[in-house]
Amino acid sequence: MIILADQINNYSEKLIESIKNCQFDCPAISVLYDGFHPEGVESPYSYYIGDYKAEGKPLFFSRLERPSHQEIKSDAGNAIIYENNTIRSRVYYAEPKEKRFIRIVDEVDEAGKVRWSDHYNRFGRCFARTTLNNEKMLFKTYFDQDGKEKIVENFATGHIILKKDKNEVFFKNKTDFVVYYLKERGYDLDRILYNSLSTPFFVSEKLQQQGISGNDVLFWQEGIKDDIPQNMKNIFNNKDCRTKKIAVMYRRVFERMESLNLDKGKYGLLGYHYDFKKENTGKKEVVIFTNSDDVENLEDIIKALPDFMIHVAAVTEMSNKLLSLDRYENVRLYPNVREKRATELFENCDFMLDINRGKEILGAGERAFLHNHLILAFKDVMHNDHVVSEQLRFKAGDYELLTETLKKAAEDEELRRELIEQQHAHAMSETKESYNEFLKI
C-alpha cells in the first residue's frame, strides 16, 4: 500500500499524518516536488535527482551568491536584488516566510519579465531551473547532486525525459513517468490511497489498464459544484475501476453528494486523525501570535482578564503600541520570538485568541489546535475557520462575550471538555478505529 498525493500542501500533509498516525506503515509519495517536502515524503523527481537522501540546511537569503556590485533587500515576504537601482532578481521564500529561506529566484530582463526561475530545496541546493519565454513556461530541468541534468520536462508537450547513465528514457506524460517510478521502486501497488483526480487518479487507471488490479481509495479534499467531476463519475460507473471507495473529507460536500442519488456503498464521510500533543487543563494562560499591532480589542481583553496571563508573541519587532502593554501585570510580550519560545507557549498555554488583523504566523491556529488550546476568535479576522468551532466565533468588538466565555471555560471543567469536543468535531477529528473501519474493503 502507498499514499499518493498530487502535491504537498496543508491538506495532503494532514491526510498523510492521519494515515501514519493510524499506524498504516506505508510510503508517502507526492507527484510534484517543490524542494521542501516533509521528512519521509518522496517524489519521483526527488528520487531520481537524489534529494530523497540528501543532507543540508535551507539557504538563508543573505547567503545567496551574487556579483559584488548587486544588492539584496529583504522584508518578511520576499527579497529583491538590485543592480544600479534596476531589479535583476526576485527572491521568494519557503513557508514559513519569516524564516527567509530561499525557495525560488526569478531572474528578470530589462523589461522586468522573468527569463528563468531557479528552484532551491530544503538542503540549500538549486535543484531545478524553469525556462520561460515571454513569461510562458517552456521546460523545467532538474539537476542531480553533481549538478548534471537528470530530468527535463516539456510543458508544451507534457513529455518528460529521464537521463539514466548513458541512456534516456522518454515518457509521453507525467502519468507514465510516475508509473515507471513506482515500479522501479518496487512498491506494493495492491492499494493506492490518493487525493486527486488528476495524475494520482490517472496512475490508478493506468495500472488497471496494465492488468494490475487493486483496492484504491480516493480521499476527496475538494468541493463540488452542481455535480461531481467526470473522473469521479467514472469511479461510480466503472465496476472494474481500481478505486473501490471515496472518503469525503468535507461535511457539506458529503451532504451534497447524498442528494445526488449515488451508490452509498462507494463513499462515506471521513475526517482526520490528529496527533494531539497534550490535554487542556484550564490553565489561565492565553497566547496571541501576531506580526501586526492591529489586534482587535486587545487592551479591553487584557483589562477584562486580570486573573489570566496574556502572552503576545511576534516574529518581528513590536511597535510602541504593543510594547506599551507591558505596563499591565498580566501581560508578557515576546518580540522576535524564537521557535523554542514559541513551542513553550504552545505547550504551556491552554487558550489561544485568533484576533489579529495581520497575517497568521508560525502556523499558530493549527499548532494551537494540536495542543488542545481552546481557540476563540473574532469572525471577521480569524485565520483558521477549520479549527475554530462556530460556538467560539464572536462578532468583532464583542470582547465582553468572548472574555466571559473564556472565564467560564477555565473555571468549569465540564464546559471546557464539551467545548474542546465541539472543536474536535468541527475539525472532523477521527479515531484510529474509524480509519481502520473505513479502509476495510
**Three-state secondary structure string covering the chain:** CEEEECCCCHHHHHHHHHHHHCCCCCCEEECCCCCCCCCCEECHHHHHCCHHHCCCCCCEHHHCCCCCCCEEEECCCEEEEEECCEEEEEEEECCCHHHCEEEEEEEECCCCCEEEEEEECCCCCEEEEEEEECCEEEEEEEECCCCCEEEEEECCCCCEEEEECCEEEEECCHHHHHHHHHHHHCCCCCCEEECCCCHHHHHHHHHHHCCCCCCEEEEECCCCCCCCCHHHHHHHHCCCCCEEEEEECCHHHHHHHHCCCCCHHHEEECCECCCCCCCCCCCCEEEEECCCCCECCHHHHHHHCCCCEEEEECCCCCCHHHHHHHHCCCEEEECCCCHHHHHHHHHHCCEEEECECCCCCCCHHHHHHHCCCEEEEECCCCCCCCCCCHHHEECCCCHHHHHHHHHHHHHCHHHHHHHHHHHHHHCCECCHHHHHHHCCC
State the Cα–Cα distance between residues 128 and 121, nearest whole angstrom. 9
pLDDT greater than 70 at residue 3 = yes
Quote the cell numbers at residue 68. Answer: 559584488
Q: What mean pLDDT value characterizes the chain?
A: 94
Sheet holding 192-194, edge to edge: 41-42, 28-30, 2-5, 192-194, 216-220, 243-248, 267-269
Residue 103 φ/ψ, nearest 5 degrees: -115, -50
The sign of the torsion formed by the CA atoms of 247, 249, 251, 252 equals negative
How confident is residue 66, by pLDDT bands cut at 50, 70 and 90? confident
State the Cα–Cα distance between residues 65 and 419, nearest whole angstrom. 52
- Short-list 142, 146, 148, 112, CA closest to 127: 142
Residue indicated by cell numbers 529566484: 105
How confident is residue 240, by pLDDT bands cut at 50, 70 and 90? confident
Quote the cell numbers at residue 157. Answer: 508537450
Q: Which fold has domain 285-426?
A: Rossmann fold (3.40.50)
pLDDT greater than 60 at residue 29 = yes
pLDDT greater than 70 at residue 76 = no
The model's pLDDT over 77-89, given as tens digits with 9 standing for 90+, comes to 789 999 888 899 9
pLDDT greater than 80 at residue 378 = yes
pLDDT at 300: 95
Partnered with residue 141 across adjacent β-strands are: 129, 152
Quote the cell numbers at residue 90. Answer: 526576485
pLDDT at 441: 56
pLDDT at 99: 86
Answer yes or no: are the C-beta atoms of 419 and 374 closer than 8 Å: yes
State the Cα–Cα distance between residues 71 and 85, nearest whole angstrom. 9
Residue indicated by cell numbers 537528470: 150
State the Cα–Cα distance between residues 309 and 262, nearest whole angstrom. 52
Answer yes or no: are the C-beta atoms of 162 and 142 closer than 8 Å: no
Entry pTM: 0.89
How confident is residue 423, by pLDDT bands cut at 50, 70 and 90? very high
Answer yes or no: are the C-beta atoms of 326 and 347 closer than 8 Å: no
Identity of the amino acid at 94: A
The sign of the torsion formed by the CA atoms of 391, 397, 403, 408 equals negative
pLDDT at 25: 85
